[in-house]
A and B are shown apart, each in its own frame.
Chain A
Amino acid sequence: MANIKTYAIFTVLVLGLVFLGIGCTGNDAGEAGAPSEEAPEAEAQEIFIKGSDTVLPIAQYEAEQFMIENPEKSVAVTGGGSGVGIAAMIDGEVDIATASREMKDSEFENAEANGITPIEHVVAFDGISVVVNPENPVSELTFDQMRGIYNGSISNWQEVGGEEMEIAVMSRDSSSGTYEYFKEAVLLEDEYRPDALTQPTTGAIVSEVSLNPNAIGYIGVAYLDDSVKAVSVDAGEGFTYPSPENIISGDYPLSRPLYFYTDGEPGGLTKEFIDFVMSEEGQNLILEVGYFPVQ
């Protein structure tokens, strides 16, 4: 009987060690994700950035270049989505939240309740292009036509000047910032048609549109290639093609600002990094990753 007791204790010990191990890794991750609270902010040599997957390539590339020039400083960038980044900033976990949409009123209220004053910085522009298969004769669409296609009132390419064939409408999943932007800009108050095909990634939209002559989809301009055809769109002022010139000049109507959010006016390393992004060099880096500079 004494033996059984020993084994029982041993088992508990093993289990305890296992959970201790699990606990340790959890804590490490938690600390790595949060800025050190002990170091005074002005002297921080390390900042944390989290948020939109759309802004991720920009933030990542800027951070790499910034760290090459300032090897003693560290900028850690993670994705996860605009909402995730903003929530992390409200909780004081990160120094900069990146977002492909404006903060919502509810998020401002949460921030206020936590004693956080979000300040918005527009760092770049992203163009959204509407794409069809290269075989499709349609190459121009008005906003009304796009709205009709996406809310379900237009279902055949014939109705927008194409051939007699059903439209296969591609949309993104609801956690995509592009999905929300497109809904706001094109659908206005309408819902997406319920039979729109939901694609998990921009890549999936490009792949389906390039293979399917009936398909239409929307993608970030950075993802445009020869396998699909971008259409010119008309918001009431004539058809505009999503070329870099038109997006930078603001003529192309489907473009959106990309944001950095900070708690209060940035200081220390946070300010240094944002200044770097907004400098001529930083803005040129944005062009290199396929987005468009603010200036």
Chain B
Amino acid sequence: MFNRNYKEKTIEYVLFAVSALTVVILFLICLFLFRDGLLLFEDVPVSSFLTGKFWYPTSVNAQFGLLPLLFGSLLVTAGAILFSVPLGVASAIFISELANPKVADFLKPFVEILAGVPSVVYGFFGLVVLVPFVRETFNLATGQTALTGSIMLGIMALPTIISISEDAISSVPSSLKQGSLALGATRWQTIYKVTVPAALSGISAAVMLGMGRAIGETMTVMMVTGNTAVIPSFPGGILDPVRTMTATIALEMGEVPQGSAHFHALFAVGSVLFIITFLINLLADAIKKKYRFKVD
């Protein structure tokens, strides 16, 4: 009796230690990222980093302005969301509400395969297929634009949005739907007046998580957006090259002298990115909790 109890507890504590380790790792990442990022402000005032309009890290008068990179990331992410939310939510509604179960069983694994494609493969596809297409369609000097990045990121965010929205829609209690149908609503009225509103917080969480995926993506955007560190105009800037925060870190980390202002600036950019994705995840979590309560 004692022995069995002992084993049980041991397993429990080992599992606790393992899961606690993730928290410790996250905490250490924060610590090192912020520590190196904050060192930038010994050389550069905080305001000129946060509101600087120019990113010239290697010129004689180096300037580390966050704005071109921040707006680059936001523009590409916003475009990706505009593209992927309608498609993703529509697919989720179709899969969970309308599709014949056989068709749904066929579609679902394909959506999941989309999530498993490595980002460099998406980037390569974008570079070879989408970039020339965008250039010819809009008659531009180059097809490496924010729009190209948005479309690629939209495709990459689709699996996240589809599978989480689909979960949300299928977990709407059937009593709600039956009630609506019993009152004489058509199938379509039931979907857009009852089912989707009831699943709305789940769908919002899906959108937030898709956004987190898009803003943190590096390889694909680096390959297709041209990486020009200029503040994009709005809305015309969607057809200009942009540079995101992630691409900047990946491009410049290679040979930056350790301990230089440039090195710390890249960490500071990383810290900003971390804070943004952290907030998005928190928000998604908060929305999800609310949604769980609603279903109960």
A residues apposed to B, CB below 8 Å: 3, 7-8, 10-11, 14-15, 18, 80-84, 87, 165-168, 173-177, 191, 194-200, 204, 207-208, 211-212, 214-215
Contact = CB atoms under 8 A, between A and B. Distances in A.
A198 B254 CA distance: 14
Contacts, number: 100
Given A7-B10, A194-B230, A173 B251 contact: yes
A61 to B, nearest CB: 22
B204 interface: no
B216 interface: no
A7 B8 CA distance: 11
A196 B228 contact: yes
Given A3-B6, A173-B227, A208 B17 contact: no
B251 A14 contact: no
A195 B250 CA distance: 19
Contacts of A8: 13
A194 B135 CA distance: 20
25 contacts: A8-B13, A10-B13, A11-B17, A83-B257, A84-B255, A87-B257, A165-B141, A166-B141, A168-B142, A173-B227, A173-B254, A175-B252, A175-B255, A191-B56, A191-B59, A194-B56, A198-B229, A199-B227, A200-B247, A200-B250, A207-B128, A208-B127, A208-B142, A214-B141, A215-B142
B107 to A, nearest CB: 33
A138 to B, nearest CB: 15
Contacts of A194: 54, 56, 228-230
A7 to B, nearest CB: 4
Contacts of A196: 228
B250 A174 contact: no
Contacts of A80: 254-255
B243 interface: yes
Contacts of B132: 211-212
- Nearest 6 Cβ contacts at the A-B interface: A175-B255, A198-B227, A175-B254, A81-B255, A166-B141, A168-B142
Given A11-B14, A15-B17, A212-B132, A175 B227 contact: no
Interface residues of B, number: 42
A195 B17 contact: no
Given A174-B57, A191-B59, A208-B144, A14 B14 contact: yes
B63 to A, nearest CB: 11
A260 B226 CA distance: 33
B35 to A, nearest CB: 20
Nearest to A194: B230
A168 B128 CA distance: 17
B142 A197 contact: yes
B252 A174 contact: yes
A82 B258 CA distance: 13
Contact of A212 (B142, B230, B247, B253): B142
A193 to B, nearest CB: 9
B256 interface: yes
Among A11, A174, A204, find the residue whose CB has the most chain B CB atoms closer than 10 A.
Answer: A174
Contact of B141 (A11, A82, A84, A168): A168
B220 to A, nearest CB: 11
Nearest to B127: A207
Contacts of B258: 87
Contact of B230 (A15, A167, A168, A195): A195
Contacts of A166: 141
A214 B255 contact: no
Contacts of A173: 227, 251-252, 254
Given A14-B14, A14-B17, A82 B243 contact: no
Among B58, B252, B256, find the residue whose CB has the most chain A CB atoms closer than 10 A.
Answer: B58
A175 B251 contact: yes
A215 B127 CA distance: 14
Given A173-B227, A194-B230, A197-B241, A7 B252 contact: no
Contacts of B14: 10-11, 14
B9 interface: yes
Nearest to A81: B255
Nearest to A190: B59
Contact of A195 (B10, B241, B256): B241
Given A81-B254, A212-B132, 16 more contacts: A7-B13, A8-B13, A10-B10, A80-B254, A168-B141, A173-B251, A173-B254, A174-B58, A174-B251, A174-B255, A175-B256, A177-B255, A197-B144, A197-B227, A200-B227, A200-B251
A165 B6 CA distance: 78
Interface string B191-216: 00000000000000000000000000
A13 to B, nearest CB: 10
B161 interface: no
B269 interface: no
B131 interface: yes
A179 B143 CA distance: 22
B261 interface: no
B156 to A, nearest CB: 18
B280 interface: no
B162 interface: no
